[in-house]
Amino acid sequence: MVPVIVFGSINMDLVARTPRLPQPGETVVGYQFASLPGGKGANQAVAAARLGAPTCMVGCVGGDRFGHDLLSGLRAAGVNCDRVRIDPSTSSGVAIIEVDDQAENHIVIIPGANGTLGMEDVGRLPIEPSRQGEFPGYLLLQLEIPLTAVVAAAQTAHRQGAKVILDPAPAQPLPSEMYSWVDILTPNQVEAAQLVGFPVHHPDAAKRAAAILQERGSQTVIIKMGKKGAYCTAPSGEFWIPAFSVTAVDTVAAGDAFNGGLAAALVKGLSLRQAVVEATAVAALSVTQPGAQVSMPSAQALQNFLAQNL
């Protein structure tokens, strides 16, 4: 199996559960608190590794207790952390998360060590083709680290023949040239709307938005629409994958579960359609459990779920 390489954020999630999300200026009494490992990059790495894909994380943590705990959690999930840098001069990244009883959330991110990632870290990406010219694998990217580093990583991977999967979250304008370095672009409906400039609330809008993003240069575009499923357009055609029906407890890392599941499925050699089905199932399973990395299912849990629901 070719490797999954994740270049991105590693955070400690400080999660507060509350009956409802507060309005601006309002104080709401919560009923539960937990410190849980997170960060979009680390979440995707854990999702892929738990599904059996050989996974390498490239990122940075601070020289604090959070950094120690974050690395321990990644390694326990089977993620190779040899290329995660420890910066004793700064704190580890932190995400402050509020989750209500409807499983909706508010998130505030303090980048910390994630904000120090740059060209030196791009140079540590293990994406050089082997001497036999083998496919170097899939590079998963997100936007919780400096955009300059993400752009450089995408360009480097593209030049080396790796497949780049970009989750454009948190949404921000992308350099026009970057789209052509991204093989699979996976915004959710909010991020897609911010990229194209119009609401993406229904399948027709998703189709229109995906076409625009594909025209910008990305070969394949998958728009994740939560309970409505996922729309995909690729050179081989377009298709819609409906969501699986589950009882959601916490939607915090659903998008990360999807991307990690997508990469793990592609590593196994599944077709794009099959991979999107599995990614949708991984996302569905993740929302049935609280937390980010702790909610990522195992390969056996995924197979059991698919056997019961397909």
Dist. CA 45–CA 6, nearest whole Å = 6
Q: Write out the DSSP string of 136-158.
A: --EEEE-SSS-HHHHHHHHHHHH
Q: From residue 294, how far is each of 26, 39, 58, 300 by CA, in Å?
A: 30, 12, 20, 15
Contact 186, 283 (CB under 8 A): no
Point out the catalytic residue in the list 13, 121, 183, 256. Answer: 256
Residue positions counted in the chain:
310
Non-local CB neighbours of 140 within 8 Å, separated by 6+ positions: 4, 5, 6, 7, 8, 41, 44, 45, 48, 165, 167, 259, 260, 263
C-alpha distance across the termini of the chain, in Å:
25
Which stretches of the chain are DSSP H helices? 40-50, 65-76, 119-122, 147-160, 189-196, 203-215, 254-267, 272-286, 299-309
State yes or no: is 13 an active-site residue. Answer: no
User: Residue 82: which H helix or E strand, with range?
Assistant: strand 80-87
Dist. CA 118–CA 128, nearest whole Å = 18
Q: Tokens in use for 53? A: 């894909």
Which residues are known catalytic residues? 256
